[in-house]
Structure 1
């Protein structure tokens, strides 16, 4: 078991944070944006960036090639629907996608929107870490959190009305 401090300050003891989130043991701030039989989408509000979504497998795996054929199809379908909703509902023009296999959690993809203010940190993939740190350290205020929660609600409504 590992002790993990969540973005809301609450400390939990879990074997795997992703398993705890996808199973419903831990409710992410803002709730679940979308859920299928195989995947769970939410926002990590520790990074208050409107429209940032994490899509995680419910099954405890590490690598893309461990997905079954059915899971792969579901993953692409959900990823595409979230991206479409980001564009149509939130007006997000560009998104960076991140997935890594050497994580302490299991298979998940980050969908990080690009906003104009982020370009002061650069335009390459290398700029994402400073952007995330800036958001966590400088934008963690009531106004930003309110904007993020409204975006979560809008995406949730859109994604769950279409299925």
Structure 2
């Protein structure tokens, strides 16, 4: 079993974090933002940054090339839909996207927004890790967690209306 600390400060154990979340076994703080037959989007469970979305496959695969054509099309459509909502609902101008194949979880993409406060850590890809660590170590305040939950709620409403 592995352990991680969630954005709400709770430590949880799991075999595969993505499987636990996408199956509903574990609910991330703020719940599901949007989901389709193949994918599940939620606030990153470890870093309390408004609009930091994880888009995870429901099926346990490790690599992009393991997705079926139908899954790949769904992934692309949902990624664009989430990005549009980040811009329109939360005013997020820039996002860094990360997907890696040597993760301990299964296929997922991080959508990491860029805010003004982050630029003190730099403006390149190398700045992302210090930003995430700062968020994990310094942003577990009641006020910030309330703001993160409000962002989750706003994205959820925007992405699920139809």
Which range, TM-score by smaller chain?
Answer: over 0.9
RMSD: 1.0
Structure 2 counterpart of 1:39: 39
Matches for 1:33-72 after TM superposition, within 5 Å: 33-72=33-72
How far does residue 45 in structure 1 lie from its aligned partner after superposition? 4.1
How far does residue 112 in structure 1 lie from its aligned partner after superposition? 0.3
Secondary structure of the structure 1 residue equivalent to 2:160: helix
User: TM-score, normalised to structure 2's length?
Assistant: 0.95
- 1:101 and 1:3 map into 2 onto residues whose CA distance is 18
- 2:144 and 2:105 map into 1 onto residues whose CA distance is 27
Structure 2 counterpart of 1:100: 100
2:31 maps to 1:28: no
Query: Contact 1:62–1:101 (CA<8 Å) still a contact in 2?
Result: yes
Matches for 1:66-145 after TM superposition, within 5 Å: 66-145=66-145
User: TM-score, normalised to structure 1's length?
Assistant: 0.95
How far does residue 3 in structure 1 lie from its aligned partner after superposition? 3.7
Query: Contact 1:28–1:43 (CA<8 Å) still a contact in 2?
Result: yes
Aligned pairs, how many?
160
Secondary structure of the structure 2 residue equivalent to 1:24: coil
How far does residue 15 in structure 1 lie from its aligned partner after superposition? 2.3
- 2:95 and 2:78 map into 1 onto residues whose CA distance is 15
Secondary structure of the structure 2 residue equivalent to 1:33: strand
